[in-house]
């Protein structure tokens, strides 16, 4: 009886091993996870090397202690993407003065980027003169960068980016990100506003209220000088909406 039981156990173990062998099931190809994780605010920006219309770039390392914007678009030679990059090009001098570097990316080939860039630089848009696109257009043909940044949303498209934006600080930490559907163009003035606010809050350790624009009053995170008199606080530019909402007048 014991011999029969032992034989049965050996036989069962052999069957389990054989069932895992390629001889029975054939080669096991891994199934790719199509839900690519998006890096979150406060995380290190994923690094990558890629070819672009400005040559090979190493992101974010090539941009040192600058603020950086990674701006993805679904496809070259499409209407919404074209207007977005033209609007972004109109603001590139402002971003440059702020020390902000822009990198645009899609899953198109480099030669397609080159042709599209040339075509865009000859367009007159909103009665504005044609403008040279100084920032690089990165070719992510193998989708490696797009996957690393979670810009491939499989339920929408398995090979094209959604309209994503990542704002990255001088320490290469992601400070803001957002995504838009393919049919809706982004507001590049809002992008400029957000970067301006991020730079100010980082440098001055303050906060910005809703709809803040450069030159508006700012919020302070704590009650300024609890022991100070109302006149003293007012002389230093502080005022309150409520005991828990304190402003400081813009300089």
130 closest CA partner among 82, 90, 81: 90
Does the active-site annotation cover 93?
no
103 closest CA partner among 40, 34, 171, 55: 55
Per annotation, catalytic residue among 45, 69, 80, 81: 81
Beta bridge partners, 219, equal 207, 247
What is d(CA 232, CA 197) in angstroms, rounded to the nearest whole number?
27
Please say whether the beta carbons of 212 and 218 come within 8 A.
Answer: yes
Check residue 111 and report its DSSP letter.
Answer: H
- Residue 21, helix vs strand vs coil: coil
Give me the active site residues, please: 81
């Amino acid at each position: 009886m014991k011999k029969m039981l032992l034989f049965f156990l050996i036989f069962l173990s052999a069957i389990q091993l054989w069932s895992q062998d390629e001889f029975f099931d054939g080669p096991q190809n891994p199934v790719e996870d199509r839900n690519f994780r998006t890096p979150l605010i406060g995380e290190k920006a994923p690094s990558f090397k890629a070819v672009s219309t400005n040559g090979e770039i190493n992101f974010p390392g090539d941009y040192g202690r600058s603020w950086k914007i990674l701006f993805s678009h679904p496809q070259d030679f499409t209407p919404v993407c074209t207007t977005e990059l033209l609007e972004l090009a109109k603001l590139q001098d402002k971003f440059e003065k702020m020390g902000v570097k822009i990198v645009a990316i899609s899953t198109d080939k480099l030669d397609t980027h080159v042709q599209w860039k040339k075509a865009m630089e000859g367009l007159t848009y909103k009665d504005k003169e044609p403008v040279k696109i100084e920032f690089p257009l990165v070719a992510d043909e193998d989708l490696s960068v797009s996957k690393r940044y979670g810009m491939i949303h499989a339920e929408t498209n398995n090979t094209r980016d959604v309209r994503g934006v990542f704002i990255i600080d001088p320490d290469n930490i992601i400070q803001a990100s957002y995504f838009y559907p393919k049919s809706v163009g982004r507001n590049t003035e809002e992008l400029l506003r957000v970067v301006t606010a991020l730079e100010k809050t980082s440098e001055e350790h303050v906060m910005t209220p809703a709809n803040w624009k450069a030159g508006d009053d700012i919020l302070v995170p704590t009650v300024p000088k609890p022991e100070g008199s109302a006149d003293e606080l007012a002389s230093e530019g502080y005022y309150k909406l409520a005991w828990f909402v304190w402003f400081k007048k813009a300089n």
